[in-house]
Amino acid sequence: MPGFFITGTDTGVGKTRVAAALLQAYGRLGYRCVGMKPVAAGASLQDGVWRNEDVELLRQAGNVQASGECLNPYLFRAAIAPHIAAEHKGVNIELARIRAAYTHLTQLAEVVVVEGAGGLLVPLSPGRDMGDLAVALGLPLVLVVGMRLGCLNHALLTWEAIQARNLRLAGWVANRLDPSMAAYEENLATLVRRLPVPLLAELPHQAGMDAASMARLFAPKRLYAMLRQG
């Protein structure tokens, strides 16, 4: 079943923004879509229920209803590194549990967009990290590059880590975090040359831009090609 694992060059680079946009884009093309955030750290109490903002955005962007346990198997209240949050709660983040939730979602939807936490090497447990989760799910990756000073090094290091895990990178997205970034076009061109996969979209620096508007920045032809390759 087609799907994608959204990773990023760092935390706060727009992974949820991209995941929600992809869900909206595939929904507009007529696919049944659902988003998944296997591990989320940081929650607030809303109507008596602890909720994570990213999880709720993904829920709203998809067009398939699923249980919270499947959409987000692990939720921690503290906004800290997932493995530390898990240690504080005496919880072991199990890849098998996440894989089972993902498998259930593939029975409900045609496209499953899975968003990681932080970057590809963020630890999940003493011997596992987010890259191991991507391997366990067997999904091609979409890399979100936060366009700001230092992004070249972060993006190329992540690309090396992806290759080291024998993962497939389906494409990347440039998310402009710094509107005044010096030599933006030159940095973008460098990554276009160095990353041997398509640039799927450039997201402008617009904090208020919703997922539906961002979805229009992804070319349908490219979206269809990603599914065929996946």
For the chain, how many structural domains are there in total?
1
Average pLDDT over all residues of the chain: 94
Contacts of 190 (CB under 8 A, 6+ apart): 152
Position 158 scores a pLDDT of 98
In this predicted structure, the answer to whether residue 203 has a pLDDT above a threshold of 70 is yes
- Give the residues across from 123 on adjacent strands: 129
Mean pLDDT of 95-106: 97
15, 37, 89, 221: the active-site residue: 37
Closest to 133 (Cα-Cα) out of 219, 29, 37, 27: 37
Burial string for 93-115 (b: 16+ CB within 10 Å, else e) reads: bebeebbebbeebeebbbbbbbb
CA 179 from chain center: how many Å? 22
Q: What is the Cα–Cα distance from 139 to 4, expressed in whole angstroms?
A: 5
Evaluate if residue 2 carries a pLDDT over 90.
no
**CATH code of the domain in which 215 resides:** 3.40.50.300
User: Assign residue 150 a region: left if phi > 0, alpha if psi is -120 to 50, beta otherwise?
Assistant: left
Q: Is 221 a known active-site residue?
A: no
**pLDDT above 70 as % of the chain:** 99
Average pLDDT over residues 190-210: 91
- Please give the share of the chain, as a percent, with pLDDT higher than 90: 88
Range of the domain at 83: 3-229
